[in-house]
Amino acid sequence: MGDLQASATSLLQRLIQFNTVNPPGNERIAQEWLAGVLREAGFEVTLVGAEPERQNLVARLRGAADGPVLALLSHVDTVLATPEEWTHDPWSGDIADGCVWGRGALDMKSQTACEVAAALDLAASGWRPAAGDLLVVVLADEETGGSLGAQWICEHHPDLVRADYVLNEGAGAHIPFDGGRRYGVCVAEKGVFRFRVRTDGVAGHASYPKMGDNALLKMAPILEKLAARQPDFDLTPAPRALLEGLGIEVNGDGAAALEALRARDERLARLVEPMLGVTFAPTKIRASEKINVIPSMAELGVDCRVPPGLGRETAEKRIREVLGDEGFSIEFAEQVMGNGSPVDSPLRDALERWVGANDPGATTIPVILPGFTDSRTWRSTFGDDVVAYGFFPQRHMSLHDIAPLIHGADERIDVRDLGFAAQCFRDVTVDLLGTAA
């Protein structure tokens, strides 16, 4: 694991030093550097993109016979960073206190580095798949939705990235629980059903508050209702399997199961709760354009996430449950169905075997991501022909450690976890694809 850790650490430091904040992204220079490294190791490398500076990389190592294709998927664009808020320059890749520091150290240049390190190590050893191919897919533009990355490449070059199994971001940092460790495998992602709530009134001069009918004041009870409660749960198979994996009895009652989990681990319960049903988060409000005009209309933007397999009908049902149905109107601004892969699969089995062998006593559990990753595009493009999971195992930093750092200041990763994850990607690749004679 030592050589893999050193390789992954060096690769991550260099990747962080490429400023790929999106927008504008400008991933080309990082992608060309990775392409050179992979090409030299014997991979067939292709760079394609909708725009010259927004390139996507696909590297292939062919097997001795036809068989399953495993794609190690990542992206190299990042969110912005404000250097004044950081202990170390966010594009330095400094090593300090046993960690690599910088924007992308967790989301997700670290996984790029570990996947590439694993692939390079396998190629250098002379390994080739007994059957099938190994793909290393490194994308642009994930942080702004993937229109120039995952969506573009799956639409314009589907055969280039077609895979049976995909390992991507979304989970993997260990979860301390009951004195042991559970490693989350992200099997599904919630859908997005953002909506606007509108209230109406009558405009008037603000110096005569009673002369008009202030639409903004009508938002107060709506905000109070949203603050007071979340809707009832819609317990789908993945969170049910998660709770059962934690030893929580479900019996069809998500609320009772959550309370049982809360009694044992309050911090974990806060992370699990959004996986169990529809969530509402009011984030934007607008009313009068002028300070001295009573608004005749007010509009509230609500970020709504819906479990995979459920859609607008469920969202509307839960909106009425929380807000009622009088005094406002609703308009959906965005509707994206949730997505998921089977909880059980040969890929999940391989991950479980690896965790058991490398962290005795630990197990994997399925989790749902409240947000989204590029996995959704593989699932929507290739349907049941692909199993896509989010998994980047971290043994030395827990989920509680890393959650506040993603997209935050002082983003960093323990160098030991780089070796741990790179070893996982190496071993799971061999487990799934075998070794050519």
Q: Is the pLDDT of residue 2 over 80?
A: no
Q: Which of 368, 226, 199, 228 is nearest to 283 (CA)?
A: 226
Mean pLDDT of 38-57: 98
Q: Is the pLDDT of residue 298 over 70?
A: yes
Q: Is the pLDDT of residue 252 over 80?
A: no
Mean pLDDT of 33-54: 98
* Cα–Cα distance, 188 to 194 (Å, whole number): 19
Strand pairing class (69-75; 133-139): parallel
Q: Which two tokens stand for residue 124?
A: 């250098």
Q: Is the pLDDT of residue 233 over 70?
A: yes
Question: In the chain, what percentage of residues exceed pLDDT 70?
Answer: 100
- For the chain, domains (ranges, CATH) are 2-178+341-433 (3.40.630.10), 190-332 (3.30.70.360)
pLDDT at position 251: 84
Work out the angle at residue 130's Cα, subtended by the Cα atoms of residues 124 and 136, and round it to the nearest 5 degrees. Answer: 55
DSSP string, 72-121: EEEE--B----GGG-SS-TTT--EETTEEESTTTTTTHHHHHHHHHHHHH
Helix (H) or strand (E) holding 205: strand 204-205
Mean pLDDT of 183-201: 97
Mean pLDDT of 73-78: 98
* Cα–Cα distance, 93 to 105 (Å, whole number): 8
pLDDT at position 1: 60
